[in-house]
Amino acid sequence: MLLKPGEKCLAFHGPLLYEAKVLRAWNPETQECSTALPSTGVNANVNASTNNNNNTNSSSSSSSTTTGGDMNCPPDDLLNAESYYIHYKGWKASWDEWVGVSRVRDLTPANKTLQQKLAKEARASAKSNRRGASTKKNKEKDTASSTASPTATTVIDHSPSPMGSNGMANNGMSSGTPNGNNNGSRITLHMPIRLKAVLVNDWEYVTKDKMIVKLPPKLTIHQIMENYLKLKSDQLETPVEQSQLNEFILGLKLYFNKSLPVLLLYRLERLQFNNLIQLENVSIDNIDFTKIYGCIHLLRLLSLLPELISMTTMDTQNCTLLISHAENLLLWLLLNNTSVLEENGELPTIRPRDRAHRARRTDTTPEQLFFDEDHAGSFYVNTSSQYEGVALGM
């Protein structure tokens, strides 16, 4: 056989090559499937007759099972040839499949170069298709415009403590984190210093100045995530990467909706939250909080993400992938907080101001995702002493 169970290889899926691992190998001469036992590393053989008997007794649906094959026996078209049951690196197990010899390549530098070449050609082809579709759409739009209004003109608008190991719960924020045991390695999320400063200021405004975040914000988490998904998808090379990004966005929204009531609110914000639930007049499980809250609360969630991940059974590879997506999102949020960026793309120097003075500033541009020290008033509102007493008593 060319490859043995446990070996790494490259495999074609569509026009592209992906790194994969051989889980099982099929011997057409003996009609046996060999696999590497995880506990011993010794190859074990599974005879096809047992699998075929099971398929025969499995009811009328057995014919479809035999045709598609399963993990112990390849499909009919591969029974008389060498074939492999492979797992694509970084893909879900549901994509595991039997492939023939023609679809696998040894993991060599030459084949890695071929993999990169195919990916580059596919990326260039995708850009060309998008450019062609865009040109066609613009032509149709121009034709329609000229027909409807020949004299119309186009106008273009150029227009800390909170970061502790226990997250923000130990600084007045509601705490509902389960007491799990983290037996894995420490998970680290690299957050830009400017975004850490945003969280520190956020903590000061709520706990010291007794202010709460305005709801709804100019840009909700849902809008931010949709914009990020649309822009980032165009930069990804393969459908698999796009699928992973989409799953990350959906998962992050789910995490936010479940974590908000128990992890992401300070005590002072509980009354605002309860009033919101009463206004919605529906079950809390049916409310999409990503359409109500904004980027500041999203940053709170991202700062707690390593701790939340450490309490799951997620494997190291998926943890690394999730953290990588989170760090890319944080960088994108920083670079797209447009009102705190100068024309040359450099971050301006922030001059220290008295917090009471900063809170009165409200001249923030509509595109700004979160505040800087001079524009807190657009994101926070003062609370009365009566409000504070009720909220802190909850």
* CATH code of the domain covering residue 177: 1.10.274.30
Which residues have a Cβ under 8 Å from the Cβ of 382 and sit 6 or more positions away? 209, 210, 211, 359
Query: Which amino acid does the sequence have at 20?
Result: A
pLDDT at 248: 94
Residue 222 in any domain: the answer is yes
pLDDT (0 to 100) of residue 128: 74
Domain-located, residue 115:
no
Q: Are residues 282 and 387 in the same domain?
A: yes
| Cis, bond preceding 352 (omega within 30 deg of 0) | no
Phi/psi-derived region of residue 90, left when phi > 0, alpha when psi is between -120 and 50, beta in every other case: left
pLDDT tens sequence across 91-101? 888 889 999 98
Peptide bond preceding 216: is omega within 30 degrees of 0, i.e. cis?
yes
User: Does residue 347 form part of some domain?
Assistant: yes
Q: Are residues 200 and 333 in the same domain?
A: yes
**What is the β-pairing status of strands 104-106 and 8-13?**
antiparallel
Q: What pLDDT score does 59 carry?
A: 39
Domain region containing 74: 8-109
Of the three residues 65, 90, 109, the one that is the final residue of a domain is: 109
Same domain for 281 and 370: yes
Asked if 185 and 322 sit in the same domain, the reply is: yes
pLDDT tens column, 172-227:
555 444 444 444 567 889 999 989 988 998 898 888 888 899 888 888 999 999 99
Q: Assess whether 314 and 189 both reside in one domain.
A: yes
* 371 neighbors 379 (Cβ within 8 angstroms): yes
Neighbours of 247 (CB within 10 A): 14
Q: What angle do CA 129, 135, 140 make, to 5 degrees?
A: 125
| Judgement on whether residues 234 and 382 belong to the same structural domain of the protein | yes
Q: Examine the fold and report which residue of 67, 86, 109 is the final residue of a domain before the chain moves on.
A: 109
What is residue 393's three-state secondary structure? Answer: coil
Pairing of strands 8-13, 43-47: unpaired
Residues 96 and 181 in one domain: no
Give me the residues of the chain with pLDDT under 70, please: 1, 36-69, 130-185, 338-378, 385-394
The conformational region for residue 45 under phi > 0 = left, psi -120 to 50 = alpha, else beta, is beta
- Contacts of residue 328, Cβ cutoff 8 Å, sequence gap at least 6: 232
Check residue 391 and give its pLDDT. Answer: 59
Cα dihedral 386, 388, 389, 394 in deg (nearest 10): 130
Domain boundary among 87, 109, 131: 109
Please indicate, yes or no, if residue 155 is contained in any of the structural domains.
no
- Give the pLDDT confidence score for residue 45 in this predicted structure: 62
Judgement on whether residues 250 and 322 belong to the same structural domain of the protein = yes
Number of domains present in the structure of the chain: 2
**C-alpha span between 66 and 59 (Å, rounded):** 12
Residue 226: strand, helix, or coil = helix
State residue 185's pLDDT score: 63
Q: Is residue 184 part of a domain?
A: yes
Same domain, 346 and 271: yes
Question: What is the CATH number for 105?
Answer: 2.30.30.140
In a domain, 241, yes or no: yes
Residue 134 falls within a domain, yes or no? no
Assess whether 93 and 193 both reside in one domain: no
Residue 335: inside a domain, yes or no?
yes
